[in-house]
Structure 1
Amino acid sequence: MTVSNRDDPAVVQAAAALAKRFEEQLPELTGSIQQLLISEIPELRGQAQLLQLLHDHIAGSVETFSTVVRNDIAIQNVTSPTAALEYARRLAQRGVSVAALMRSYRLGHRALLAGVADEIRTAGLEPGLALGIEERITAISFDYIDQVVEQAVAAYQDERDRWLEHQNSLRTSSLHQLLSDEDVGADADVLEAAIRYPLKHVHLALVMWYDKSDSESGIALMESFIRRAAESLGAQQSWLFLPLDQTTGWAWIALPPGVAPDAVSRLQVFVDSATAAPAVAIGNPLPGVDGFRRSHRQAQDAYTVATTPGSGARRVISAGDPGVALAALLGKNVAAAAEWVAEVLGPLSEATDSDNRLRETLRVFLRSGSSYTAAADELHLHYNSVKYRVQRAVERRGRPVEKDRSDVEVALILCHWFGSAVLS
């Protein structure tokens, strides 16, 4: 039998069956396309939240395309998946070019067609039927891409226009100039006037984020939160907020005299009690322009630790928390850190509840100067329980800690902050 007409019933049926296999292979296909886009388009490399949205966008787009092929849906009735449109909006908010967005669709389209060709070759179909399937799916895919790209670009442009209107361009550009490593010198007073924030104070920097945003309310919620947080520290009018997108923002609080020593602990208490509070990463209170920058970098480092996949959900994290600065420094390559942790801790690095208890007890014990009493007080355990767990942890590791104690302490810090991301 020789079939070349892409609308022949046999071709339609076979193409639908092939599209069904794409749905069955959705996790693998999504992962490979995401990796391709990230490696080919540097602008798409970003924080974990944006990468997750890219993953959801790809998965939704592939699944929608498969549905179109399987059910012979008219292209004019197709709409982009919600995640795809939201991803376009987030790129607009972050200032990623529309060219990068369009290129991602072209590369994804190419990868999908390559997958179609592989499936057809693997199936060993009669040449005429194989050609008909390839022609049908290729034609539908081009029509589909043409339809959804137009919708994505429209969403991007609408959001970009709205976002530019939302931001005060002078204030934003002045803030970015201030955050650069350049010596602002005599421009400090000009920048202070432009951003409408006092730079000669002691500054407490924050990164705020929501894991999910059900509407455009994220920005309003973050702005409301930072206003109330500043008021709780006695800085009613001395705060600055810069939204990055609907779920993430930067903020600074200019602390009144005498507040700095306990500002972080007071803010942590406020986060725990505040309604609709975002998750918060906090820098250390530091003075002047250099302190404004340094506290911000510390908050970003703490944010990186808190949002590393596998690290566990935390509502508040501070750069001053024991081990956070070290974890941020060593966690820039989590895969390599995980390998090193496994080498140092051996079986103690396994991701079990029992090993987690042993690791945490050993971490506190070593940090307490190998004092069973101090560790027991901190962990709210009996002295003998701490002693037993420490012994079990050493046995589980398979060798004593005296010779490489510093390595063990660092490995335990990484386990504490990064969780399953560095566990076996």
Structure 2
Amino acid sequence: MSDPETEIQGIAALLAERQIELTAELVDAFRDRIPELPTDPALVELLVGSSGANLETFVHLMRGHIRVRDVHAPTAAVEYARRLAQRGTPPSALLRAYRIGQQLILQWAHAQITGGIDDPTLALRTTQLLTDTSFLYIDAVSEEVVQAYQEERERWLANRSAVQRETVDALLRGDRLDLAATEVALGYRLRQHHLGLVLWTAPGAGDLTDLTAVERTVARIAERIGAAGQPLFVPRDRETAWAWLPIGRTGELDAAGIDEVLAGGDGQVHVASGRSGAGEPGFRTTHEGAAAAHAVAQLGQHPAGRAVSYADPTVRAAALLAHDLPATRRLVLGALGDLAEDTDGAARLRETLLAFVEERESYVATAARVHLHKNTVKYRVDRAVEARGKPLGEERLDLELALIACKWLGPEVLVSAGGLMLVTKGYPSKSGTTAPG
């Protein structure tokens, strides 16, 4: 009389006979159902080897040639996991392959049991034994390949990041480099247009060492603006990363897409962007712009959900003003008078006045821009001029620069409600005396 162990031996023998055929079916299913898996021939060949080796090892387990505690992932399976880690394929795709493989082999084996065993009780016991054995195998092997994936991913990222950082630093310094070799080292094409980004999180809000949140943000931005390829992502420290988005030959992009991506996030990741640039020189200049915009955002009160763009002329002006904050503070105080106070009321007047100046003193255009009634705009402009203490047309350039400085640099250049400059030491206060140091 037969028993489940004997029946399992027969199924194992049949599985060994059909190993090549079943391996091909598994690989086809993986390619159809797991789009994240690489499809280039070298990786597909390694997937075939991994799948076949797993079937062979499972057969040995079913036949009792090895014990569960002695089961190890086949060499080909471990190598495939490492290669996926190098490619950046998510580990969920690897685990899904094992689950799908288990499902398909169990379906095939259950069909053999149903067609070959007449006794329902024996068929059920054999099915239970086969299912238990398959789960023990998948549990042992999947844990090992995931560990190999994680170790390789950490090693690969560390090595790749070190090479990329050194290469990027050399590019930004303007060193003479072999262009083709540089592109290989970066994994990024320099002979196109680029958009540079600086990304950061607030202190304690996130940790860039795992790369996930910031890399996802870069990937979403690249997809939203229609990037021409994979971005270049270079972590700098625990809270800051640099990125370059490839935007093809024309350099055209939908910059509003960056704000849309940020608005849909959790507000933990902030972005500063440069102006698009072409080729190796553009790679440098777009980053320099993004870095300048980042410096402006760090000094001021950057709103969450919006990027700071160096393409904005007021950001470019603020970046220049930030180079000499003491002089900018004096400019603000001299140009704005009481309007330079760090209060909510003064902030509303400054916002309206800046819009009014930029809209060529049109009450109608300003009202549409700031979403206020025209009469409200006129009231605020009149109040702002009164607080300033001099006519709108007097020292007009100083006025506009001072308003831009207040908008982007905030408390760094404003005057406290009590009359002394904030964050000053040894510079004139509102009253003209020297602030205490």
TM-score in same-fold range (> 0.5): yes
2:265 match: 274
Aligned to 2:184: 193
Aligned residue number for residue 224 of structure 2: 232
Letter in 1 for 2:412: A
The share of aligned pairs that are identical, in percent, is 37
Pairing partner for 2:214 from 196, 202, 222:
222
- Pairing partner for 1:180 from 150, 173, 186: 173
Separation of aligned partners in 2, 1:396 and 1:300 = 35
Taking structure 2 as the reference length, the TM-score comes to: 0.56
SS at match of 2:238: coil
**Larger Cα-atom Rg:** 2
The alpha-carbon deviation at position 162 of structure 1 amounts to 8.8
Is contact 2:228-2:247 (8 Å) kept?
Answer: no
Letter in 1 for 2:211: I
Show CA shifts across 1:319-363 (max 9, x none). Answer: 112400010011122233122201111111001111111111111
CA distance in 1, matches of 2:335, 2:227: 46
**Which residues in structure 2 correspond to 1:15-26 (within 5 Å)?**
none
Cα distance change on mapping 1:183 and 1:386 into 2, 3 Å? farther
> Is the 8 Å Cα contact of residues 218 and 246 (structure 1) preserved in structure 2?
no
Contact 1:175 1:191 in 2 (8 A): no
* Bigger mean CA offset, 197-206 vs 310-319: 310-319
Residue 311 of structure 1 is matched in structure 2 by 301
CA shift for structure 1 position 234: 3.1
Q: Equivalent residues in 2 for 1:119-198 (5 A)? A: 165=158, 167-184=160-177, 187-198=178-189
Structure 2 contact 207–239 (Cα < 8 Å) conserved: no
Alpha-carbon separation, structure 2, partners of 1:387 and 1:228: 42
Contact map agreement 1:198 1:238 (CA 8 A) in 2? no
Deviation at 1:379, TM superposition (A): 0.7
Are 1:369 and 2:360 matched, yes or no? yes
- Once residues 343 and 301 of structure 1 are traced to their aligned partners in structure 2, the CA distance between those partners, rounded to angstroms, is 26
Equivalent residue of 1:279, what SS?
A: strand
Matched, 1:263 2:246: no
Measured after TM superposition, the shift of residue 383 of structure 1 is: 1.2
Cα pair distance change 1:229/1:317, threshold 3 Å: same
Moved over 6 A (4+): 161-164
Say whether the 8 Å CA contact 2:188–2:230 is kept in structure 1: yes
| Residue 207 (structure 1) shift | 0.2
- Partner Cα distance (1:255, 1:388) in 2: 45
Partner AA of 2:294 in structure 1 = Y
Aligned equivalent of 1:250: 242
State the 1:277 CA deviation. 5.5
Q: 1:214 deviation in Å?
A: 4.9
- Length, aligned pairs only: 260
* Partner residue of 1:325 out of 316, 320, 323: 316
Higher relative contact order (CA 8 A, sep 6+): 1
Q: What amino acid is the match of 2:189?
A: P
> Counterpart amino acid of 2:387?
R
Given that 2:205 and 2:268 are in contact with CA atoms closer than 8 Å, whether structure 1 keeps it comes out as no
Cα distance per residue 1:48-77 (max 9 Å; x no partner): xxxxxxxxxxxxxxxxxxxxxxxxxxxxxx
Instruction: State the SS of the aligned residue for 1:261.
Output: coil
Structure 1 residue 368: Cα displacement:
0.8
Q: Flag structure 1 segments of 5+ consecutive residues without an equivalent.
A: 1-160
Verify the 8 A CA contact 1:286 1:294 in the aligned structure 2.
yes
Match of 2:59 in 1: none
In 2, Cα distance between the equivalents of 1:229 and 1:280? 10
Distance 1:168 1:382, change over 3 A: closer
Conservation of the 8 A alpha-carbon contact between 2:161 and 2:234: no
On the 8 A contact 2:335/2:398 being kept in 1, the answer is yes
Whole-angstrom distance in 2 between the partners of 1:210 and 1:344: 34
SS at match of 2:301: coil
Distance 2:294 2:264 in 1: 20
Report if the CA contact (8 A) 2:206-2:268 is conserved.
Answer: no
Question: How well do the aligned residues superpose, as a CA RMSD in angstroms?
Answer: 2.4
Alignment correspondent of 2:89:
none
Matches within 5 A, 1:382-421: 382-421=373-412
Distance 2:401 2:350 in 1: 12
Gaps of 5+ in 2: 1-153, 416-437
Report Cα offsets for 1:153-197 as digits up to 9, x if no partner: xxxxxxxx999945543332222111113454xx22221121110
